[in-house]
Structure 1
Amino acid sequence: MENINISIDQANAGRPWNESLFGCFSDIKTCCYGFWCLPCLFGDNVEKIDGSSCVGCCLAYWASSTCFLCWIPHMMKRKVLRQKYLLEEEPCHDCLVTACCGPCAVCQAARELKSRSGAQRRPNVFPVRAQPVAYRK
Structure 2
Amino acid sequence: MSGENEWNEDLFGCCNDCNTCCYGYWCTPCLFGSNAKKIDDKNCFLMCCLYGLLTSVYLCWVPHYFERQKLREKYNLKPNPSCGDCPTTLCCSPCALCQEAREMKSMEKERSMVYKPNATPPIISQPVPDSKDVHPTDIRL
**Length-normalised TM-score, structure 2:** 0.77
Does residue 1:22 correspond to 2:26, yes or no? no
Deviation at 1:14, TM superposition (A): 2.3
Structure 1: runs of 5 or more not aligned: 1-11, 128-137
SS at match of 2:57: coil
Match of 1:80, as an amino acid? K
Correspondence for 2:34? 44
Correspondence for 2:92? 101
Identify the match of residue 66 of structure 1 among 56, 71, 74: 56
Aligned sequence identity (%): 47
Deviations 1:51-104 (A, max 9, x none): 011011101100000001000000000000000011111032111000011110
Distance 1:117 1:48 in 2: 11
Correspondence for 1:9? none
Deviation at 1:29, TM superposition (A): 0.4
In the TM superposition, 1:77-88 aligns within 5 A as: 77-88=67-78
Distance 1:13 1:71 in 2: 21
Match of 1:103, as an amino acid? P
Higher helix share: 1
Structure 2: runs of 5 or more not aligned: 121-141
* Poorly superposed stretches of 4+, deviation over 3 Å: none
Distance 1:98 1:88 in 2: 15
RMSD over aligned Cα atoms: 1.7
Size of the aligned set, in residue pairs, is 116
SS at match of 1:48: helix
